[in-house]
Amino acid sequence: MLILAPHPDDETLGCGGLIATASALGLRPRVAYLTDGAASHPGSRAWPPRRLAGARREEALAALAILGVGPDDVLFLDWPDAAPFAPGARPYQQALDALVDWMGPKGARSVWAPWIGESHCDHVAAAQLARRLVRRLPPPVTAMSYLVWGWTEPRLGRVAKRATVRTLRCVRTVQRRRDALSQHRTQMTSLIDDAPEAFRIPPELAALTERPVEVYLRAA
């Protein structure tokens, strides 16, 4: 199974229970990060983009280790944060080729990406890339969507009524998800305190790690 995350932290917020449960079952989930996450604190002099991207990579690896994923099953595509490449652009095709090569001749049984209705350009880009990837992998491949910012979308209820909804009971993974999210210190704490526009995961979003059940949509 392949999880495509727009930024480091989305893996834990959107489907940390899935990753932890799959790891415990020996299913070997693999996680690919689309962007380098370097745009979360623009204007910081102490944490310029290169340093921040390196920190977020380390945070991602630490979080995944808690969820049961080792570094050999992690891929960083390093797209610029908040500036996704357009389909047809050379870097876009290179990313798609890299994912196909990384998965190997057996491909993946399932691909998990953000819901395409989420209001963030990188989340939409990850969903679109996942759709193209599914068409490149050996069939059959199940395409699924997880929700991060999608929970704040007013139209989610209408979409869910028409969608195939799947749930995973993962109450036993709550503490691991909490611990994994805490590894994302640049996003969860005031570690970076000199940025004019500093992003910090709001409490209502961090609370996704407390869910006893994760919800997914069957991707169109």
State pLDDT tens for residues 170-210. 999 999 999 999 999 999 999 999 999 999 999 999 999 99
Percent of the chain with pLDDT over 70: 100
- All structural domains of the chain: 2-218 (3.40.50.10320)
pLDDT at position 146 over 90: yes
User: How large is the average pLDDT for residues 159-180?
Assistant: 96
State pLDDT tens for residues 81-118. 999 999 999 999 999 999 999 999 999 999 999 999 99
pLDDT at position 215 over 90: yes
Segment 196-205 long-range contacts (CB within 8 Å, at least 24 positions apart): 196/42, 196/43, 197/41, 197/42, 197/43, 198/40, 198/41, 198/44, 199/40, 199/41, 201/9, 201/13, 205/13, 205/148, 205/149, 205/151
Distance (Å, rounded) from C-alpha 159 to C-alpha 117?
A: 9
* Beta-ladder partners of 144: 112, 218
State pLDDT tens for residues 122-131. 999 999 999 9
What local confidence, expressed as pLDDT, does residue 219 receive? 85
Give ∠ CA 96-121-140 in degrees, rounded to 5. 40
What local confidence, expressed as pLDDT, does residue 39 receive? 98
pLDDT at position 42 over 90: yes
State pLDDT tens for residues 43-61. 999 999 999 999 999 999 9
8 A C-beta contact, residue 4 and residue 34: yes
